[in-house]
Each structure stands twice: as structure tokens, then as C-alpha cells.
Structure 1
Amino acid sequence: MKACLILFAIFQVTQVFSQNRTSAPRTNIPLDSIRLSDPYIFPDKASNTYYMTGTGGLVWKSSDLKRWSGPYKVARIDTSSWMGPDPMIWAAEIHQYKGRYYYFATFTNRKVKIDTVKGKVIERRACHVLVSEKPDGPYVPMKDPTYLPANMPTLDGTLWVEDGTPYLIFCHEWLQNQNGTMEKIALKPDLSGTFGERKLLFRASDSPWSREKNEAGDTVPNKVTDGPWLFRTKTGKLGMLWTSWVFNVYTQGVAYSATGKLDGPWIQEKVPVTGPNIGHGMLFRTFDGKLLMSAHSHSEDSNGKYLRYPKLFEADDSGDKLVIDRPYSF
């Protein structure tokens, strides 16, 4: 528990620094020179451009995944809304749906406190969706001021469509419930809000591989759920990439729905799907049809600064289970 809180505090300090710094766009930047948390890559065939976003409300552009231009600011929020004038923006995703482009992201207003659990003050943080007519934005708010309860910290929302109904898949943060969850809630047809009741898919403690030490020093399941990404293999199996920790190591696992439906039950794989220090993954296909996973690793520099690096891996979804093969070679 203590380790989780320390790592969370480091992450928050890093995010505050990155949110308050907007550098001028640059060109011809190698992928391995970019520092970015939660990298998400949207391939837009119409423009033959890859758009990479993540934490920070910014976008990078590339035609070959190797060299990038950016960052470009694309998120425009309503400063009079619950987000406030300068929210932190985490784990953004770009989804094309019914001819429009949607920006799923986690927004945090650090000035608004919604709860205190075990002495830890919890800030107003929630998943929200913005919309644009173009993949490079600008992305602006829609009708509903909130998508999820105001007294509940949520994060890492993603889109999944089942039987014609779009759903927001998200995490209820462990800082409040002490056992992070994966949940779903239905979205309106134009994604402008949610409706109905949210439903639990699984809890962090269901994982057989994530571990931490509790206050007594015992080894227990880790509390963190992070970075859901849903996919279907070529054999029709519904899976979900998600991330937690093995003690102080960021680690990514995968779960599969026994019924092929969102409601599961979700069966957790016994071992992580990738090696250590790789997490918050998502899948996309290149313009020539190759399946890749985008994720990040992290490290501290000599000054103790916490850095995150986008990484690409080759993936294979031809069988019943996803296989992450090797780092992608350009």
C-alpha cells in the first residue's frame, strides 16, 4: 500500500509538471525521443497519418511511426465546467464513430476535493468525452456536463460497441474503493453522455499475477486497475488488456470473457502478457495491416525525474489468445 501511494505521488508530480509545459511543435522527431504516458495511436487512412495522443491533451503526427511532428494542443474544455480552467488530462484516446471523432480522456480538477480515504485526499477526477469533425481536432465538449458520478474518481475510459450499443469501459480508482474495478456503462447513440446503471466487470483482486505488500507486510493482490483496452481475436474471443503492479513494477495482464460478451465472466490469465515495466497498452493496425501494441515503460533520470517512453510491439491475434511477440522494428 505504501509503495502504491509513493508511486502515485511521483506520477502526480510528473503530470503536474508536464501539464503546465506546452512546447512549440517540432518536426522529424524519432519515436524514442518522445516522452509520453499512456500512448494511444489512431491510424487515419483518409490522411495516411498516425495520430498519437496520451497524457497531456496533446497530439503527435506521423506518416511512418518512426518520425513524428508535434506536439499539437487539441483538447478545448469548458473552463466554467467542473474541470476548471486548467485540468490535468490523462490517458486520452481518439475513436472514430459514425463519421465523427471522439476524444476519450481522464480530466482532473486538483482544486476540488471529493473524498478522504485513509488520510488521502481524493481530487475530482473523471472520464469524459469530447468531439471533433477531424482526427486532429479541435475536440470540444458535448451536451452532458458529466458522464460519471461526481463523488467517484474514475479514469482511463475507452470505447467498446456491443450489439450496436456503445459503452464506456472505465476504472473506479483504487484510492477510494481500495480495490480498483473495471466497469461499464452505456453511452448515448452520439456518445454525448451516459445512461443507465454502471456494472462491475472485475476487481483488481481478481488478478492472479499482480501483487503488493499490505500494512502488515503480507503479500496480497495489488489494488490498482489501469488502462483497459478491449479487442477481439480472429477466432472471436473477447479480451481486455489492463495494467497493475507487481510490487513496484508496472505490469500488464489480459483477461478474456468466457461468454464473448462484456458482462463476462472475465477470466484472468495467470501470468502477465508482456514483460515487466510495460503497461497501459492498446492495439492498432498499421496501414499495411500489421497488428501492433502501443504501450509505455518508465524510468527515473539522474535527477529523480519520472520519465515515460512510448514503445511499439508486434502482436498476434490469430489464435484464441493475444500474443505479444517482440519490440517492433522499423
Structure 2
Amino acid sequence: MTEPTKPKLTLNDIQMRDPFVLPHEDGWYYLYGSTDKNIWRGPATGFDAYRSKDLTEWEGPFPAFRPGPDFWSDTNYWAPEVHRYRGKYYMFATFKADGVCRGTQILIADSPLGPFRPHSDGPVTPRDWECLDGTLYVDDDGKPWMVFCHEWVQTKDGTVEAIELSESLDRAVSAPVTLFRATDAPWVEPVKSPKNGEGYVTDGPYLHRCANGTLLMLWSSFRGGRYAQGIARSESGGVLGPWRQEPEPIYESDGGHGMIFARFDGGLRLALHTPNRSPDERPVFVPVAEVDGRLVAAVSS
């Protein structure tokens, strides 16, 4: 069956938070993110995906995930990431329901465009923790981990945590290990809200292995009232760290929740959303380069 033709779009046409890009061997880049018009409240619709051959013109939206009538969550569909693992495609995404803690559930599909369906039995994050932004990391021994955030709304000083996953990615097989706290980074400043008071945010972890073997973690918080993209490095080269914070963000122009992907020509891009306000947020791809195990802004090419 021939797929319907989709209109060509630019990134400026796509309202999206938390962008994630999957370059695929079929020659397409697949783009995922938080795509509900209002992700903060009200009934959620699902996750849409887009695809492009050149990162400039995009086709979509394609309905990558739509909840079934018995799906447990109906709000806060956030930060989908899609990872290829053992021939399948796994979506790690954040969900919430009234009276149920926010958490990351794992979905599965046979193709990058889905349709994705539940794989884990609800969230794999602790059921009594408010959590978000789970990401997959497979270590050098082939062991899968999920790195995620324990939210500041519950802890006041948000943390980044790691749990080991089963080989089938359907459940956690270890207790969480705290990797670091928001206040471990010297650049992070507190946020305030009428409901939750003052606290320090951790958002959007993503792990990137440099060509020289250095393991970096991108994560986001706030500085000067604006969203910012920070980086930590593992002193052991492994997921359990210890993690040392870079003293300054790599991006602080009211954007974040980033990840790193390689273009088909090998050039690296930092994908993030900016500005950090709805409905104006858009995905942006910032050229970066590795220099001695660090990520630095590069000249666009």
C-alpha cells in the first residue's frame, strides 16, 4: 500500500519540544518529540513523527503513537526517544495520569514510524517517584540501562538516576542509582512555581560516547530564568560515573532538552528546542564538534 503524500515542512513549521533524531540506514532522518499542542494539561493525543532526507525539508506528521482505550495515561505525553535495539524500535516516553506518578514507559514497533505499542507493563521508573525523560544507554558489555530524572517537584533538588534494564527492555532489574544532583553543576539556578515552591531542575539526560572514548551526558536545567543545556562527563568512562559537571552550559539561549546525532556525512548536531515557551518552541540543530572529549560549537556546514 502506497503511503499518502505528506506536505513538505521546515523546522519552523513544526511545534515540538524535546526533539530526538534517529538517522536510519534507509536514508531518512526520523524526528520525534513532544508534539501535543498543549503538553502541560488536558487530554493528550499521542506522539507524531516526521522524516527528512536532508534535515531541511520534512514530511509529516505521521501518527507514531496513539493510546488505545485501555491505556493508563491520558496527560503529559513527553519526550519520546526512539532507539533501534536487536532489530526492533523502542520508544522511551514520559506519561502521567491523575493520582499516578509521572514515569517513563517503553513502547515497541517494527518500523521507525510505528505504530508503537506498549512493551513494558506501565512505567519502568519507580512507581512512587515523579520521574521523566528516560533514555536508553547500552554499555560496552551490551548491558542496557535507562538513565532518567527524579523530578525536582518531589525532591526539590532534582537528580539524574540510572537503572539496569532486562535484556528485553521490558522492566527494571536493579534499584536506581543516583548519578548526580542538579546543584552539583555550578551554573544551575533555582526555579520557583506557585504549586511546588523553589527547587532545582534536572531534565532530558542523553549519553554520548566521543570518538576518544569519553562518555558525556547532556542534561538541562535553568540559568538566569532561561532553559539551558549542560554537559557532564564520566570520570570512569562508564554510566555509573562518577560524573563531573562542565562549569558552563553549551547552550543557554532559552533552549535545551538536547541530544547528539550524526548526519549521514558524519557531521555532529545538537538537537534541542528553543525558545522554552509554548506554542513558540521549535526544534533546532546546532553544529557541534568533538575536541579532546568535549563538545564545542562548530561552524555550520
Q: Which amino acid aligns with 1:197?
A: A
Give the aligned partner of residue 281 of structure 1. 258
Q: Which amino acid aligns with 1:256?
A: R
Give the aligned partner of residue 38 of structure 2. none
1:168-187 mapped onto 2 (5 Å cutoff): 168-187=146-165
1:169-248 mapped onto 2 (5 Å cutoff): 169-212=147-190, 223-248=200-225
* Aligned sequence identity (%): 37
1:1-330 mapped onto 2 (5 Å cutoff): 26-45=6-25, 47-56=26-35, 57-83=47-73, 86-109=74-97, 112-114=98-100, 124-162=101-139, 163-212=141-190, 223-298=200-275, 306-326=279-299, 328=300
Q: Are the equivalent residues in 2 in contact too, given 1:245–1:251 (CA < 8 A)?
A: yes
Task: Call closer, same or farther: CA 1:298–1:265 in 2, change over 3 Å.
Answer: same
DSSP-derived class of the 2:173 partner? strand
Q: Which amino acid aligns with 1:288?
A: D
Name the TM-score, length of structure 1 as normaliser.
Answer: 0.80
Aligned residues: 282
Quote the Cα distance in structure 1 between the aligned partners of 2:28 and 2:134.
24
Shift in Å, 1:77: 3.5
Q: Are the equivalent residues in 2 in contact too, given 1:75–1:139 (CA < 8 A)?
A: yes
Quote the Cα distance in structure 1 between the aligned partners of 2:254 and 2:191.
18
Shift in Å, 1:81: 4.2
DSSP-derived class of the 1:175 partner? helix
Quote the Cα distance in structure 2 between the aligned partners of 1:168 and 1:276.
28
DSSP-derived class of the 1:234 partner? coil
Quote the Cα distance in structure 2 between the aligned partners of 1:308 and 1:99.
33
Shift in Å, 1:222: 5.7
Q: What CA deviation, in whole Å up to 9, does each residue of 1:195-238 have, x standing for no partner? A: 121110001111100113779xxxxx961000111011111111
Task: Call closer, same or farther: CA 1:299–1:322 in 2, change over 3 Å.
Answer: closer
Shift in Å, 1:25: 8.6
Quote the Cα distance in structure 2 between the aligned partners of 1:126 and 1:213.
21
Larger fraction in helix: 1
Regions of 4+ moved over 2 Å: 76-82, 143-146, 212-215
Quote the Cα distance in structure 1 between the aligned partners of 2:221 and 2:253.
11
Root-mean-square deviation (CA, aligned residues, Å) is 2.1
Quote the Cα distance in structure 2 between the aligned partners of 1:210 and 1:195.
32
DSSP-derived class of the 1:259 partner? coil
